Structure 1
Amino acid sequence: MKRTLKILRVHSHYILFFLFTFFSKGLIAQCTFPYTSNSGTFTVSQIKGCAPLQVNICINSSAPSTCTGGESCDFIYGDGSDEGADQFENTYTEPGNYRLEIIYPNPAPSDFIDIVVTDKTAPEFEVYACGGNTVRADITDNQYDNYMISWGDGTDVTIPINTADQEHTYANTNTRTITVQGIDNNALDNCATASTSFTPFTSLPTPLITQLSVIDNSQVELNLSLADNIFYRLEVQVNGTGNFNFIKTIESTSTEEIIDNLDLENNYYCFRVGAVDLCSSAITYSNAICSINLSLAVNDGFNSLLWETSDPTGMFDLARKVTTENGSSTTNPYLQFTPQARLADDSNLDCNIEYCYFLEADFNGGISISNEVCGIATSSLAPDSVSDMSISVTDAGIQLEWEPQTQAISNYQIRSFGSLIANVEETNYLDVRNVGTEAAVCYIIVSEDECGNSNESKEFCSIYLSGSIAPDNTISLDWNDYNGFADSVDFYRVEKFYNLAPAGTFNSNTSDFTETDTNPNEQIINYQVTAIPRNSNLPPAVSNIITIIKLNNIYYPTAFTPDGNGNNETFSVKGQFIVDYQLQIFNRWGEMIFTTNNPDEGWDGTYNSSPQHEGTYVFNLRAVDLAGQEIERSGSFLLLRR
């Protein structure tokens, strides 16, 4: 490495050294540095410092040579760098212990001095806030002989190692940067500095424990809200009695702390955090928050919960988590209890289902969360029986639908007239065995829970509708009272159809209905009855559909008198709802003397325009009505003339 001669800027006698070197050959410059070599022939600017360390050399008057011009010297710096004559400066870039040696010309005496280069890091220190805008600095470092503290407001202080903590008071609460530099004796102050930002406090803020969570039987987790640069201590009280005792100090940067080695099966613990003013020893305490120890006992038909803690400032919120085949769900809060409560029972359970619980409570602004306890519910109590059933008769079969139970039911057995017809998990079933039934069909539903307990409903029967029609088209409907609704039937709705097209709706408070249909164009009438429940949450029950066919009422006279007086002049066969018609008339010899396809056309007593004789004649009728019924009639009648 090439060495260059530098003009030194420390003192004026350094400059004289070089002036004498260049202008007074043979003379020795009268310059000096603070540190003298072993034999006193030269001095150096530094003997100790951090890397990189620059060392400059002055040759004293007692030296055998000026080491300039033709009196060259060998400079050996000991760091493995290029070495040669008349090199009065070297920079040590690596930490280590080096011997700087100068070998003078013949005769060749030599002289040396030891150089120490360190790699010391920035000093470690901590600052703590006190009240009254005061800061306390704690130098925890022991690398250096001395430390200079710059308080950031123009004030500095230098203290030796292991000096007591330093305090400084600021004029206001403005944020400052505090810097600490380590300085060794007889060393250059070129080592790294450490700094931190600091905001003074007029008074220390109150810390807060935001949450306490029980992890297991030996650990809790505390979540904290702390201010920077404050000395904190954590304290504990057992079972809410006695003094709070010190556990440990807490870093102001901590947001959570795990406290272990606890006996949470037999005790509960209350915690608080103190903000310590190290200048006055005053302590500002946080809220006190206590763990909640929750236990569970699974009983026949109910779960008992018991907990231990101090009274919170708010209600206890009990959360419940239910795990089923479809996943898990948590209700929080599920129940709430007063601060003095310590016991609760939960009977709203389904058999063989796992229930988990935990408690939450507010302790002066911090939430305490208990341990979680779980148990599988068991019961010997029979579930509620099905009390509401809707039965509807459809073209596909009889549809059953019932209200789900408040308990969890694993299986429903469907029985009909003593026989088991199905096992289902749903609350509906289509009985395809019964299509077009001619009587009411009855069912019993057996509810069974996960524990094998069962309960049988009463017998529910479908609505069976029947009807009849009188010759005057008076229609009478009758059906059995529907028994499927616990709150009974509000009313029955009778729906009327002409060939399945809506034709009217009637309400009835009884299980029968009568009407006379006078529509001359509709022969086919359908009826269906719907039971409307008083409980509007239930679907209605629907009967079978019946078909009523009005009579075609075929009639004819036994005699007619075609004598021109305008009365009873023709013979015809009449009826209602006729869509296809053929009438034939025969004389006594079997000869057909008249035929027509028009129901409104009658025989006038002639044949080939000739009046026929009085006597007996025979007719034959073939017809079809609106209902598709084929009609065949035959008979005899008299032709009379007056």
Structure 2
Amino acid sequence: MSRIRFILLGLLVICITTLSFGQPSKCTNPGGGISLGGTFNVTPQQACLDYTSSSSTISVSGAVGNTGGALTNLGYIFDFKEGDDIVFPTTSQTTWTVSSPGVYWILQGGNENSIAYVTCKAVEIIQTEAPDFTISQCGATSITVKFLDTPKNRKHGKYRIVWGDGDQSFSAQVTVWPHEMAHTYAAAPASPPQIEALYTRGSTNFVACTSTSPVFLNGFNSEPRISELEGLSGGTSSKITMVDGLAGSDYIIEQKPKNGSWVDTGKKINRANSSTSANETITGLDGTKEYCFRLKTVDACNNVSTSNEVCTIVPKATIVSSKIAKLNWNSPDPNVTRYAINYSESPSGANPNTGAPNTPTETSYTFDALDCTKKYNFGLTAYLGTTPADRVLIKSPFVLVDPATTPKFEPKVIATVSVSSPTLISFNVFEPNAREAKYIFYRSEGGSTNFTKVKETTENFYNDQNVEPEKQQYCYKVEYQDQCGNSSEPSPVFCSVFLTSNQPNTLNWTPFVIPSPNTSPVEYYVEIVDENGNTQSVDLTTDITLGVKAQIDNILNNPNALGKAKFMIKAVQRVPLNVNGSIISWPFTCNSNIYTFITPAQIYVPVAFSPNDDGNNDTFSAKGRFIVTYNLEIYDRWGNVIFESNDIDTGWNGTGTDGVTPAPPGNYGFKIFGLDPAGQKFEKVGSITLVR
């Protein structure tokens, strides 16, 4: 058969053991004619489990009968419990692996001299654990280790501390908790102590197991340090992460409003030996205010020490336009080495990304890809320190940006109004990125403050063709909307540069204004315009008036001059723009209307002439400049017209109406009339003497 039931074979025995607590009853009174007797060895009798081992192997050996003889039908039952049957396998198992702590019973059975015997022994599996303790330091050379009153520690009997300077200490059997062990070094310790818990057994308190000394992961004999400060719940909470410091020691968390006074938060932070860090969350903060935090401790000598001071970041988001959101914040520390911006779509968290300002000291960030149908979460991280030993992260709470619920967008502040022709003005709105969904343009005339809507369009410019820019000034405003219908504030007023003359030989014009901040003074280029529309710059000024007599005279002295001197103003305003991360002074240009100085027709006539074919003063003709149309009439004494000409180069040769018969000498009347370059009529009436 595969199993031998000792009850049937009469092989039952009763256990004899050094441990009685929890012993199964069949180990002391097996019954059924089975006797107690025999013995065997268990190795080890106490086994230890620690963080390096998950199991322990138990061995049995040296089995003998009740009278010391050998046993037949020898077998063992491991982990024998109350209520178990005494059933042995056909093969004798002599080892057993245990992975959980506790007291286990082993039953041995066998026959000696045809009598069945059983006996039991116990084995204890002890799970060792590093003790719970705190370390306090008094000055640089004295430390006290306090073993706390915890269930874990109450399993320990004694403690051993290797102080790290060649000395070690053993405690007596601990019966009162908490228990303290102190040591004074000759100099500040260079390494942490090794602290072991001893598991004692028996009346002699022999050491059955020893715990592995806890590893001080960092910060023994060093000041605590806040390594991370994270804003939560819109800034109403702050999570503080501590590293370094004495493991197991309580550190008081203090806070203050930035530039305020320190107060105790009532919370403490404590880093366990098994952890490199610890954290605690401070609640009840005002999310609109900045706070600073530090850790404080008082050692056994009442010496106060504090950690580094770390302050929160409170970012503020502004929707500048339908495409642009701007994040601004105050620097939490002058030693910030860089910032990073984290953002994603909310609440899905889609499309996460990270951007960074251009320089470590810049405290603003512009996001230029808003979609008004989506919401966004923006967070900011500041980095302090350059090595892991001094690095600090400060994380702001997330800021929700919802373009669809924003108040009116900021207005456009960069635009130009330029005269393109005598009947056309172009109003152009500067867009550094994509155009808005819709623009609404408004216009006023002649300096009026009454603006009328003139056009709605998807284009960022308006070509106004219903204008007379040489007669008056035109001003414009613009509003815009995104695709969700959110509107902007009206822009400032942008006006054409209106060029005129308030006194002879002087140009006057209205200023060119771009209300964007940090603009430079406007440069006005005074340009001459020829009859073909070509321009030539003749002067540069930052004023809005200029005397141009010399320029006019120079034009009129040209033999081909038509009595007109045309001028135009080209205004240049430089505006600082961020182009690919660099600030560039970008020139914006507009043209004024053309203003024309017109010189009246100039006519010169002789008082007499002698048509005798001597080649000298043989005809009566006028000389002049700036004449567009010309007419000459000669009258006899009775007022009859005897000669006409509409060519200034064709004069009267002193003949009668037939153009052949010489007219008698004497006085004749004349009339010269026509138009000058301005279309003005001119007329000159007088008399001429014909000499024969």
TM-score by length of 1: 0.50
Normalising to structure 2: TM-score of the pair?
0.47
